[in-house]
Amino acid sequence: MAKGDPGVSTRSRRAAPRSRKATGADPDLVQLLTPEGERIDSVTGPDGTVYRADLTDDEYRGLYRDLVLVRKLDAEATALQRQGELGLWASLLGQEAAQVGSGRALRTQDMAFPTYREHGVLYCRGIDPIMPFGLFRGVDQGGWDPNEFKFNMYTIVIGAQTLHATGYAMGITMDGRMGGDDGEAVIAYFGDGATSQGDVNEAFVWASVFNAPMVFFCQNNQYAISEPLERQTRVPLYQRAAGFGFPGVRVDGNDVLASYAVTRTALDNARHGQGPSLIEAYTYRMGAHTTSDDPTRYRIASEVEAWQAKDPIARMKAFLTKQQIVDADFFAEVDEQARSESLHLRERVLAMPDPQPVTMFDNVYPNGSPLLDEQRAKFNRYMESFEGSAH
Ligand SMILES: Cc1ncc(C[n+]2csc(CCOP(=O)(O)OP(=O)(O)O)c2C)c(N)n1
Ligand SMILES: [Mg+2]
């Protein structure tokens, strides 16, 4: 209901949402918002779990705002890279709903372990969106505090973070910080390609046998750089979980409501001691793998167009409009916020100072090291040997 509109029940204006078993073209896909913007009240997953996302109007609007903002900031990053201001960018285009839905499902005490593409989750954790830009500009290591925001540093080594996450989750169990509503849970993000890594399979084993409070969140964006999904697996990825002894579910990763509901359920199960689970968020990488990739060399335009019709933002917009959850100015106001935040971000990125070369010796050890001190001194003498050196 729009604020300041007392007495008019928005819900009464709405068509009653349907409930259903997950059926149709993909009977295993949990979907709570169709590409046409129709909300489904509840869906029963393959293992009998009932999923629903009956949120307040403020929450629906909030999710839409998040989706638009993270897409706009991401587009700004791609533009900055094209203009030579970033060394590289890994775009989240197309994956906004998987990231915002799961990111908003995290409770404050939960810990997330990202890859290099989780800018949307980072945003939901309340981290200043400038942070990954330092990393991709090559001027710092990505400067947020993982403990403060409960969001670990980006990990480029494919799949490695799933082991870090599992170890962290086992620590939660050992410290007795689970079992109730205030218990902690851990989410590890990774891609479809990462499922072929030994690390990920080892993490599955450890999480399973130690009943770790873990959610494995796989964004199946259909490609590992140029390698399509059929080069990784002969079974749907979520079904792999059964072999490791924990539940797996496939969610429509372009549906922010389903991504939210499924992740919330999995995290709450984990914090209450019910062990790990695997979520396969079925989505699509609409852009290049990174800015150094050219996807036209390995995929056809019609495939991209088919996924365009499933756009996560368009369906949320259709839902908000049809259900009259927003007033006439809402979409323009969100667009304006996205425009001004991305402009502000751009200005701050351009103003980032280049680091002094000698700072590469910083932060290697918490208390320094004699060997490093020696190397630093040698490096300083080398830099000073240049004529007119100010360094
Ligand atoms: C251990 C390791 N092997 C190879 C690479 C090179 N590499 C970078 S991204 C990538 C593909 C990852 O695909 P996926 O897991 O599907 O994630 P996506 O990039 O699609 O989000 C590879 C092979 C790496 N970074 N780390
Ligand atoms: Mg992938």
Q: Each residue of 342-383: pLDDT tens digit?
A: 999 999 999 999 999 999 999 899 899 999 999 999 999 999
- Across the chain, what does the average pLDDT equal? 93
Ligand 1 pocket test: which of 95, 200, 221, 225 has the largest number of ligand atoms within 8 Å of its C-beta? Answer: 225
Strands (E), the chain: 18-21, 29-30, 40-44, 50-52, 111-113, 186-191, 214-220, 223-224, 227-228, 248-252, 277-282
- pLDDT value of position 186: 99
Residue 391: band (very low, low, confident or very high) from pLDDT cuts 50, 70, 90: low
165: helix, coil or strand? helix
Residue range 15-34: mean pLDDT, rounded: 73
What pLDDT digit, counting tens, does each position of 263-315 carry? 999 999 999 999 999 999 999 999 999 999 999 999 999 999 999 999 999 99
What are the residues facing 250 on neighbouring strands?
29, 280
Q: What atom of ligand 1 comes closest to residue 115's alpha carbon?
A: 21
Indicate whether 15 pLDDT > 60.
no
Q: State how beta strands 223-224 and 227-228 pair.
A: antiparallel
Q: Whose CA is nearest to atom 12 of ligand 1?
A: 224
- Residues whose CB falls within 8 Å of the CB of residue 312, separated by 6 or more in sequence, listed in order: 67, 94, 96, 97, 254, 255, 256
Q: Whose CA is nearest to atom 3 of ligand 1?
A: 158
Q: What atom of ligand 1 comes closest to residue 156's alpha carbon?
A: 25
Encoded tokens for 109: 């005490």
Q: What is this structure's pTM?
A: 0.93
| Contact by Cβ (8 Å): 50, 99 | no
Of 136, 134, 137, 164, which Cα lies nearest the Cα of 151? 164
- Which ligand sits nearest to residue 156's alpha carbon? 1
- pLDDT value of position 46: 81
What DSSP state is assigned to residue 217? Answer: E
Encoded tokens for 244: 């490791």
Residue 9: CB atoms within 10 Å: 10
Using the structure block, give the residue that is written with the tokens 């403060």: 148
Q: Is 285 an annotated catalytic residue? A: yes
> Rounded CA gap, 99 and 118, in Å?
7
Q: Is the CB of 289 under 6 A from ligand 1?
A: yes
- pLDDT value of position 363: 86
Output the CA 179–ligand 2 centroid distance in Å.
33
Q: Mark residue 4 as left, alpha or beta (left: phi above 0; alpha: psi -120 to 50; beta: remaining).
A: left
Residue 25: band (very low, low, confident or very high) from pLDDT cuts 50, 70, 90: low
Q: Is the CB of 193 under 6 A from ligand 1?
A: yes
Output the CA 298–ligand 1 centroid distance in Å.
16
Q: Is the CB of 157 under 6 A from ligand 1?
A: yes
- pLDDT value of position 11: 41
Q: Is the CB of 213 under 6 A from ligand 1?
A: no
Q: What atom of ligand 1 comes closest to residue 285's alpha carbon?
A: 20
What pLDDT digit, counting tens, does each position of 223-246 carry? 999 999 999 999 999 999 999 999
Active-site pick, 104, 137, 240, 289: 289
Q: How does 108-136 read in b/e, with b if 16+ C-beta sit within 10 Å?
A: eebbbbbbbbbbbbbbbbebebebbbbbb
Q: Is 298 an annotated catalytic residue? A: yes
What pLDDT digit, counting tens, does each position of 112-156 carry? 999 999 999 999 999 999 999 999 999 988 889 999 999 999 999
CA 315, 249, 66, 13 torsion: positive or negative? positive
- pLDDT value of position 289: 98
Active-site pick, 11, 82, 231, 298: 298
Residue range 78-85: mean pLDDT, rounded: 98
Output the CA 266–ligand 2 centroid distance in Å.
22
Ligand 1 pocket test: which of 156, 158, 286 has the largest number of ligand atoms within 8 Å of its C-beta? Answer: 158
Q: Is the CB of 194 under 6 A from ligand 1?
A: yes
